[in-house]
Structure 1
Amino acid sequence: MNRKTVAVLPGDGIGPEVLDAALPVIEALGLPIDLEFGDIGWECWRAEGTPVPDRTWDLIDRSDAVLLGATTSKPRREALAELAPELRAGDPRYISPIIQLRQRLDLFANLRPVENYLGGGTPYRFCVVRENTEGLYAGLDWNHVPDAMWPLVAEHPNARRGGPSDATASIRLQTAHGLDRILRFAFETARGHGYERVTLADKPNVLRASSAYVLERLEAIAADFPEIPYEVLNVDAVALWMARRPERFGVLVAENMFGDILSDLGGGVMGGLGLAPSANIGESGNYFEPVHGSAPAMAGRQRANPAAAFLTIGLLLEHLGFKDAAGSIQDAVRHVTRRRDRVTYDLGGSATTTEAAAAVLDACREVPHAPTAAVVTIGDELLRGDLEDSNAGNASRMLAERGVPVRVRHTIGDDEATIADAIRPSLGRDDVIVVMGGLGPTSDDVTRSAVARALGRPLVHREEAWQGVVERLTRFGVGVHEDNRRQALFAEGAELLPNANGTAWGCRAEAQGSTLIMLPGPPRECLPMLRDVLRDGLPHLPEPPEVSTVFRRTLGIIEADAAALVDELVREYGVPVKPAYRWHYPYVDIRLGCPPEAADELAKRLDAALAEYTVTDRDRTAVQELALLLDARGLVLDLDDQLTEGAFAAELARERGTTDGSGSLSVTLSGTWAGGDRTTYTGTVTLTCTVRDAAGETTRELTVPNRGAEVTTYISQFAAWATARHLTEGTA
């Protein structure tokens, strides 16, 4: 394909930021496109007295497409006030760069695609086509009614009360030329992009005469596209249904003002203007622009969402014939926004503009992502506490072993709408959604209808499942009840999962890039079924990378301090490491997942950083570690254990295999309270443990909160830790 030239006009405010962040996608995709940068916007006005210099028009004329960042516009008085006196002398007129581009290039069609990039809910994909050159924005607008118009306006009683000087007027101009080309553009867009319907949004119940003419032109143009159905709806009804049921629309076409309103509403339906791209197409040129505007208050703060800029570049690439590349960008944005792990504040994240753009670029380059899962367990008995929700924990472990960690878990009662609401946010966001429970034959088993509702599909009878139910019940001498037919209903298009241990078959369904697995509730039925699916039924997910775990159990350091210390170590190390922290009194456990080749070096660094706090590298308590040491060395303790009133000695005796030994060790415990005492649990207690043997003596101290009776547990574990360190480290 011949190389293309794109004029890049970064503009004002956040325009340069979002384009700088998104433009590397062209190089990442290896496209034969040359970028030439030009000047436009407010700084051009201030410096030169025009927002679109002649050199920029020359660049536009020799380019195949124009990519605009954003431009700032201000009222005439403010615009003139910012000019130097010598520029102000000629009484220049400030005309918005966008207006200039649309008028000079005759850009009659504004295209605003709207799609469910965030996932969840019913999928939708439509676009708003706005006529740019006439309608109520045609420029036929007067602050006093012109004399020539007065005879027409005077027919209105309010106008007659004041006269021409006390009335304003605007004309909604619609011509056959303007209507025909925008309607034809709408139908061509539907045909070229697979939209099923064209909807004209107008106001025929009020603007009866002009809307009747629009309908005539619509019928004439539609005759050339017989395969595409069309309709005319009141614009206010369209706005309602855009918010309530956006999936019903294909191409929405409207005159200038109605289209202006509906296109911004489309941005709101998507989740905000940070996701909204736009294209302006004409007979003499084009320009492509993120919808969000220049937002000068945000400029330089790295908070702007670059997603709209990426999607706008996608529209530009499609216009230039790079359809596959445009699809790759859309897929990448969809992936990043649905996972929400590297998104900007407007989508609930904390990423900067640059970080969010890097996530999209990684997705475009097909950098492997870490899959995630959601688990939904269902049953009123789980919410009441009648049954332990063991399925959620078991499913989480099985998914983690498959390399798909669970991002979110829900426990839901037997309510169809609530179940569907729990599933929808994970569609398109999580790779795997496991739904367990509520597949029995009774009226309160509503999971299958809730799943179908979340997927937006009807329930259909599956004869294979029904025969399986009948065969099992008959085999065990159980009567087949009509209610059992519920167990043969599944969302349309789902793949059946036979149940070897019960009558409730499951299913799996693909939707919005997610695999939904619906399973019965009894553990002996659902867990084997889930194991089979995870083993054989997820070929689209990559095999989990090999990961080593470095584990340390620490004592005497709080979780926040441990995390700060380890997080800094991980940042300095420079390899992919996933830290996890768990506090369980009195310990803080630290687990670092890392590539196997990095485990030894990471362990050395971790030991150096936590030298004063590490108890063990195994899932054992300090008392258990000490018991193993004493047994291995054949030692008995001469223990002064008044501080715990024998609790330490008793716990140690339970863990030891023998109380005999040929050597002895003297251990003395003491405590000093500050701000409290043994029965008043306030302040702190400073613990001292002195250990003596033939090799020498060591003393260790630790101050801990005197938080309650459980401080005795802390004392026992501290004493065991101090004694074990004496044995392993000596008296040096």
Structure 2
Amino acid sequence: MNRKTIAVLPGDGIGPEVLDAALPVIEALDLPVDLEFGDIGWECWRAEGNPVPDRTWDLIGRSDAVLLGATTSKPRREALAELAPEPRERTPQYISPIIQLRQRLDLFANLRSVENYLGGGTPYRFCVVRENTEGLYAGLDWNHVPDEMWPLVAEHPNVRRSGRNGTTASVRLQTSHGLDRILRFAFETARGHGYERVTLADKPNVLRSSSAYVLERLETIAAEYPEIAYEVLNVDAVALWMARRPERFGVIVAENMFGDILSDLGGGVMGGLGLAPSANIGENGNYFEPVHGSAPSMAGRQRANPVAAFLTIGLMLEHLGFKDEAGSIQDAVRHVTRRRDRVTYDLGGSATTTEAAAAVIDACREVPHTSSAAVVTIGDELLRGDLEDSNAANASRMLGERGIPVRVRHTVGDDESTIADAISPSIGRDDVILVMGGLGPTSDDVTRGAVARALGRPLEHREEAWQGVVERLTRFGVAIHDDNRRQALFAEGADLLPNTHGTAWGCRAEAQGSTVIMLPGPPRECLPMLENVLRDGLVHIPGPPEVTTVFRRTLGIIEADAAALVDELVRESGAAVKPAYRWHYPYVDIRLGCPPHAADELAKRLDTALADYIVTAQDRTAVQELAMVLDERGLVLDVDDRLTEGVFSAELARERVTVGTERPLSVTLSGTWAGGDRTSYTGTVALTCTVRDGAGEHTGTLTVPNRGAEVTTYFAQFAAWSLTRHLTGRHSTEESA
């Protein structure tokens, strides 16, 4: 393909920021594209008296596409007041850059694509096509009614009351030329993008005569596209259904003012203008622009969402013939926005503009994403505590062992709406959504309907499952009731999962990149079924993860102090690291999720920062670590265990330590209470552990809060830790917490 030239006009406000952040995607996709930068907008007006200088028009004229960041427009009085002295003397007329581009290039069609990039709820994908040159925005708008029009309005009762000086008028202009080309553009868009319907949004119940002519032109153009259905709806009804049922639409086409309103509503439907791209296409050129505007109050703060800029670049690349690359950008945006890993504040994150853009570009480079799962367990008995929710724990373990960690778990009651609400946010966000329970034959078993609702599909009877129910009940001599028939209902198009241990079959369905698996509740039924699903490849099992976990278990430091040290270390590393902390008495566990290439260096830094507190890099206690060392070396302990009242010895016995006869060790553990004693749990305990062997003596100290009877556990773990550090040569002279 021949190289293309793109005129990049960053413009005002946040325009330069979002384009600077998003444009590296062109290089990442290795496209045969040349970028040439030009000037447009408010600063051009202030300095030169023209927001679109002649040099910019020259650049536009030799380019294949125009990418616009954002422009600022102000009323005439403010515009003239901000001019530099020299251009102010000429008193130029201020015309918005957007108006100039549309008029000079005859950009008659504005295209706004709307899609469920955030995931959750029913999938939708449609676009709004707005006519740019006619309608109520045609410029036929008067402060006082012209003489030629006065006879047409003079008899209106409000005009008679207001008089000529109190009456204004505007004309909605629509021509066969303008209507035919925008309607043909709408049908071509539907044909080229697989939309099944074109909806004309108008007001035929009020604007009867002009709307009748629009319908006449629609019928004429639609005859050229017999495979595409069309309809005419009141614009207010379209707005309602865009908000309530956006999935019903394909291409919505409207005159200028109606289209202006509906296109911004489309941005709201998809989650805000930070996600909304646009294209302006015409007879003599084009320009592509994220629709969020210049937002001057946000300029320079790195808070603007760059996603709209990425999707706008995608529209531009598709227009230039790079359809696959445009699809890659859209896929990358879905990946980032649905997982919310690096997104800006408007999507619930804390990433800067540059960080959010880097996440999309990384995804465009096909960096493998971190898989995730959601688990939803169902039953009023689980909420009441009548039954332990063992399914959630077992399913989490089974998924995690196959590289699909569980991101979120929900336990909900037997209510269809609540179940659907628990499932919907994970559709398109998590790779696997596992729903367990509520598939029996009784009226409170409502999971089937909830799953179908979340998927946006109807329930359908599946004869294969019904015959399975009948065969099993007959085999055991159990009566078959009409209620059993609900166990043969599944979301339309779902793949069935037979149940060899019961009558409740499961199913799996794909939606927005997620695999939804529905299984019965009894563990002896659902867990083998889940094992089969994972074994048989019915869900995607990821390759090597993009994230490596660095783990350290610490003792003798409180969680807040550990987090302060580690968070500073993470900031200094400059790597994309996600720290996680878990306090479980007496330990603080630290997990750092980081890119594999950064793991070794990060581990070294962590070991240096926490050298005096690290017990192990494994999920083991200090006693378990000691047991391994003693077993490896065949050592015997001579323990003065009075401080722990035998707990230390009992813990070692549970680990089945193998003892020998070489190098017996003498271990003495003592404590000094300050502000309390063994029975009044206040103050602190200063612990001392002394280890003696033939090679010498090591003493470790640690001060801990005397918080309760569980402090004895701390004593035992501290003794094991001190002894292990002595045996392995990893000890300091003093530890305190």
1:256 and 2:252 equivalent? no
**Is 687-696 or 297-306 further displaced after alignment?**
687-696
Partner of 1:412: 412
Q: Would the aligned equivalents of 1:550 and 1:593 in 2 still touch at CA under 8 Å?
A: yes
Counterpart-to-counterpart distance in 1, 2:436 and 2:368: 29
Q: Alpha-carbon deviations, 1:9-31, whole Å to 9, x = none?
A: 11111111111222222222232
Aligned-partner Cα distance in 1 for 2:395–2:105: 59
Q: 1:505 to 1:112 in 2, by over 3 A?
A: same
* Separation in structure 2 between the aligned mates of residue 597 and residue 342 of structure 1, nearest angstrom: 19
* In the alignment, structure 1 residue 636 sits paired with structure 2 residue 654: no
Equivalent residue runs for 1:135-174 within 5 Å? 135-174=135-174
Q: Which residue of 2 aligns with 1:459?
A: 459
Shift of 1:536: 1.9
* Alignment match, 1:349: 349
Whichever residue aligns with residue 490 of structure 1, its letter is: F
Distance change >3 Å, CA 638–CA 358, structure 1 → 2: closer
CA distance in 2, matches of 1:101, 1:724: 75
Deviation (angstroms), 1:115: 1.0
Report the CA distance between 1:669 and its aligned residue: 1.6
Instruction: Indicate how the Cα distance of structure 1 residues 342 and 483 shifts in structure 2: closer, same or farther if over 3 A, else same.
Output: same
Deviation larger for 84-93 or 136-145:
136-145
3-state SS, counterpart of residue 501 of structure 2: coil
Closer, same or farther in 2 for the Cα pair 1:605/1:200, shift >3 Å?
closer
* Cα distance between partner residues in 1 of 2:332 and 2:361: 8
User: Amino acid of the residue matched to residue 673 of structure 1?
Assistant: A
Structure 1 residue 121 corresponds to structure 2 residue 121: yes
Partner of 1:16: 16
- State the one-letter code of the partner of 1:667: T
Q: Which moved more, 1:305-314 or 1:623-632?
A: 623-632
The change in CA–CA distance for 1:251 and 1:651 in structure 2 (over 3 A counts) is closer
Instruction: State how far apart, in whole Å, the 2-side matches of 1:288 and 1:594 are.
Output: 37
Deviation of 1:591 (Å): 4.7
CA positional deviation for 1:352: 1.6
Deviation of the 1:698 alpha carbon: 4.2
Q: What does 1:59-458 align with in structure 2 at a 5 Å threshold? A: 59-458=59-458
Tell me which amino acid in the other structure corresponds to 2:441. Answer: P
Which residue of 1 is the match for residue 668 of structure 2? 667
**For residues 322 and 304 of structure 1, do their structure 2 counterparts lie closer, same or farther at Cα, with a shift above 3 Å needed?**
same
Instruction: Indicate how the Cα distance of structure 1 residues 241 and 396 shifts in structure 2: closer, same or farther if over 3 A, else same.
Output: same
Amino acid at match of 2:196: E
1:533-548 equivalent positions in 2, closer than 5 A: 533-538=533-538, 540-545=540-545
Question: Against the structure 1 CA distance between its residues 5 and 468, is the aligned structure 2 distance closer, same or farther, given a 3 Å change threshold?
Answer: same
Code of the aligned partner of 1:633: L
- Aligned partner letter, 1:394: N
- Report if aligned partners of 1:429, 1:514 keep a CA contact under 8 Å in 2: yes
Output the amino acid matched with 1:141: D
Shift of 1:375: 0.8
Q: Tell me the TM-score normalised to structure 2 length.
A: 0.92
TM-aligned CA deviation for residue 381 of structure 1: 1.0
CA distance 1:370–1:617, shift in 2 (3 Å): closer
Deviates most, 167-176 or 303-312: 167-176
Deviation, structure 1 residue 473: 2.3
CA distance in 1, matches of 2:27, 2:596: 33
Question: How has the CA–CA distance of structure 1 residues 425 and 636 changed in structure 2, closer, same or farther, with 3 Å as cutoff?
Answer: same
What is the distance in 2 between the residues matched to 1:258 and 1:629?
77
Which residue is equivalent to 2:484?
484
Counterpart-to-counterpart distance in 1, 2:319 and 2:260: 22
- Say if 1:92 and 1:595 are closer, same or farther in 2 by CA, change over 3 A: closer
Distance change in 2, residues 1:156/1:547 (3 Å): closer
Instruction: Output one character per residue of 1:128-179: Cα deviation in whole Å (capped at 9) or x when no partner.
Output: 1111112111112222333333333322222222322122222222222222
1:689: Cα distance to partner?
A: 4.1
Structure 2 residue matching 1:94: 3-state secondary structure: coil
SS in 2 for 1:72: coil
Moved more, 436-445 or 609-618: 609-618
1:669–1:719 contact (8 Å) kept in structure 2: no
1:525 corresponds in structure 2 to 525
The Cα shift of 1:107 comes to: 1.1
Cα distance, 1:212–1:654 mapped onto 2, change above 3 Å: closer
Please tell me whether the aligned partners of residues 553 and 619 of structure 1 are also in contact (alpha carbons under 8 angstroms): yes
Distance in 2, matches of 1:591 and 1:76, equals: 59
Query: 1:696, CA displacement in angstroms?
Result: 5.1
Query: SS of the counterpart of 2:535?
Result: helix
Q: How big is the shift at 1:264? A: 0.3
Structure 1 unaligned blocks of 5 or more:
none
Written as runs of structure 1 = structure 2, the 5 A alignment for 1:470-619 is 470-538=470-538, 540-545=540-545, 551-566=551-566, 580-591=580-591, 606-619=606-619
- In structure 1, the residue corresponding to 2:149 is in which secondary structure? helix
In 2, the alpha carbon distance for the partners of 1:697 and 1:420 equals 64
Deviation at 1:276, TM superposition (A): 0.7
Taking the aligned partners of 1:597 and 1:113, their CA distance within structure 2 comes to 38
Stretch deviating more after TM superposition (719-728 or 123-132): 719-728
Deviation at 1:275, TM superposition (A): 0.9
User: Whole-Å Cα distance in 2 between the matches of residues 287 and 658 of structure 1?
Assistant: 77
Q: What is the deviation of 1:391? A: 0.8
Change (3 A) 1:52 1:320: same
What SS is found at the alignment partner of 1:147?
coil
Q: Deviations over 1:473-528 (max 9, x none)?
A: 23333333332222222112111111122221111111111111111111111111
In structure 1, C-alpha distance between the alignment counterparts of 2:288 and 2:694, rounded to whole Å = 83
In structure 2, runs of 5+ residues without a counterpart are none
Whether the 8 Å CA contact 2:630–2:658 is kept in 1: the answer is no
Q: One-letter code of the match for 2:528? A: P
Query: How well do the aligned residues superpose, as a CA RMSD in angstroms?
Result: 2.9
Q: Distance in 2 between matches of 1:628 and 1:325?
A: 54
* Residue identity in the other structure for 1:54: D
2:701 matches 1:701: yes
DSSP-derived class of the 1:148 partner: coil
The 8 Å contact of residues 107 and 132 in structure 1, kept in 2 or not, is answered as yes
In structure 2, what is the Cα distance between the partners aligned to 1:715 and 1:316?
67
**Residue type of the alignment partner of 1:532:** N
C-alpha distance in 2 between matches for 1:604 and 1:239: 58
Q: Provide closer, same or farther for how the CA distance between residues 375 and 670 of structure 1 changes in structure 2, counting only shifts above 3 A.
A: same
1:514-567 CA distances to partner (integer Å, 9 max, x unpaired)? Answer: 111111111111111111211222464433459987654321112233344445
CA offsets, 1:409-435, max 9 Å, x none?
111111111111111111111111111
Tell me the SS of whatever aligns to 2:440.
coil
In structure 2, C-alpha distance between the alignment counterparts of 1:328 and 1:52, rounded to whole Å: 33
Classify 1:535/1:566 alpha carbon distance in 2 versus 1 (closer, same or farther; 3 Å): farther
Say which SS state the counterpart of residue 68 (structure 1) adopts: strand
CA distance in structure 2 between the aligned counterparts of 1:454 and 1:510, rounded to whole angstroms:
12
Q: Please tell me whether the aligned partners of residues 612 and 732 of structure 2 are also in contact (alpha carbons under 8 angstroms).
A: no
Structure 2 CA distance for partners of 1:143 and 1:553, relative to 1, 3 Å: same
Q: C-alpha offsets along residues 75-106 of structure 1, whole Å, 9 cap, x if unaligned?
A: 11111111122210111111100001111111
User: What is the CA-CA distance between 1:213 and the residue it aligns to?
Assistant: 2.5
Task: Give the Cα separation in 2 of the matches to 1:188 and 1:439.
Answer: 46
1:38 & 1:295 partners in 2: Cα distance?
Answer: 20
Q: In percent, how many aligned pairs have the same letter? A: 85
